[in-house]
Amino acid sequence: MNNITKIFLVLNSGSSSEKFSLYEGEDEVCSLYFEGIEEGGKKKFICTVSKADGSEERVNKTWDDLSTAFVEAKAIFEKEGFINEAHPLDGILVRTPAAGKYFSEHHIVDDETYAELEKAKLTYPLHVPGAIRGIKNAQAAFPGIPVLTLSDSEALTRDTRKDSKYALPKDIIEKYDLGRWGAHGSSYGFIRDRIKALGIEAPKMVVCHLGSGCSATAFENGEPVYTSMGETPLEGLMSSTRTGSIDPTVGALLGEELGAAEAIKVLIKQSGLQAMTGSNDMREVIAGAEEGVPECIEAYNMFIDGVAGKIGEFAAKLGGIDAIVFTATIGERSIPVRGSIISKLEFMGFKIDTEVKVDRSAGYTNIATAESKPIYVIATNEAAYMIKKAGELLDSQK
């Protein structure tokens, strides 16, 4: 069976939410979002149904327990006719919020998966419990349907990487399975494949994934060589609510004072643009900077310096860069951010043509001037990459 005919349910389990996205091939046909609200002084959960035609509808019902979301989701998909005997579900996909040798590959969930997730709680105490809950509930609600964990570092786990090690004692690395695994791998895998398919691959390229989470990866001859994120997505660039790279002593002190899980929560969810400006939305930060708000100006400049500096670092390591790619929400949509970053890199031969408009339907847009090296804007599609890999994994088991 070809991947395009498969029906996958992509699961995103948050600490107090569940999102179910149903795909036929690479096309999202329907999504359900269960989120918590306050009702009568008690926490309740509501569901919003979004369809491919852009319509949205809130289900006229509330639930007391988020775990019931799976049974309800199954009933809604069946009622709407998206899942039935003629269109059975082929698999449930869970993006794995964990790193390490095991999670640098994709897996069909089994007992070993659960054991590895338990180990991963050490470095991912905020995200792994939600993934475990989601997997267990999915197996209970959809018995007999394979549940797959999709690695967020697989596309970056290559022998070509020159920055995958930490300068730590070998016994500590082995005991805790530490390494610079990277993240946003589903995005980088999609963009890498897209670049090759479009015929615009250059020998040395830097892809900047700039969204609510931000990272950058350097590719040489189509393979990843350096990436900004490490054992967890905290390393590297500052983003909406993450600190980015920080003196490890700060993390250790916060851990001593607050406890490890709470310290990680501060660094992941309460820092970055949010901490500096009170907003985690780059559009609001830019508006504040334009109005002269000092905190917004400082945060914006720090963000731009971080991305431009990382590109410069990669250029030094690669011995130059032939092309730059912007992707993800900010990278694809923010003209000011792209312009500010590239303005710092004109000495490297990059310059934006401000008259070029990004055409999101064209596959890619080169926003560089005629004399500049290419600067591409390419829309990412992480779900498409996950679905491709899930189809390959299931087919390999036949």
- Phi/psi class of residue 363: alpha, beta or left (left: φ > 0; alpha: ψ in -120 to 50)? left
User: Distance between alpha carbon 294 and the CA centroid of its chain, in Å?
Assistant: 30
Amino acid making up residue 376: Y
Beta bridge partners of 226: 218
For residue 356, give the DSSP letter. P
Which residues 6+ apart lie within 8 Å of 145 measured at CB? 89, 90, 91, 92, 138
Of 152, 163, 247, 395, which one is the catalytic site residue?
Answer: 152
Distance CA 349, CA 291 (A): 31
Q: What's the token pair of residue 21?
A: 């996205």
Strands (E), 268-397: 323-327, 365-366, 375-377
Which residues 6+ apart lie within 8 Å of 144 measured at CB? none
Q: What's the token pair of residue 258?
A: 């607050």
Beta bridge partners of 24: 7, 27
Q: Is the dihedral of CA 285, 228, 152, 275 positive or negative?
A: negative
Q: Name the nearest CA neighbour of 224 among 288, 318, 132, 363.
A: 318
Distance CA 323, CA 350 (A): 8
Q: Name the nearest CA neighbour of 199 among 374, 16, 383, 10.
A: 374
Torsion of CA 281, 283, 286, 292, to 10 degrees: -80
Q: Catalytic site residue 111? A: no
Instruction: Give me the residue label for tokens 């303005």.
Output: 343
3-state secondary structure of 274: helix
Distance CA 43, CA 31 (A): 22
Which residues 6+ apart lie within 8 Å of 344 measured at CB? 304, 305, 308
Q: What's the token pair of residue 326?
A: 């912007």
Q: C-alpha distances in angstroms, 363 versus 217, 344, 366?
A: 20, 26, 10
| Residues marked as catalytic | 152
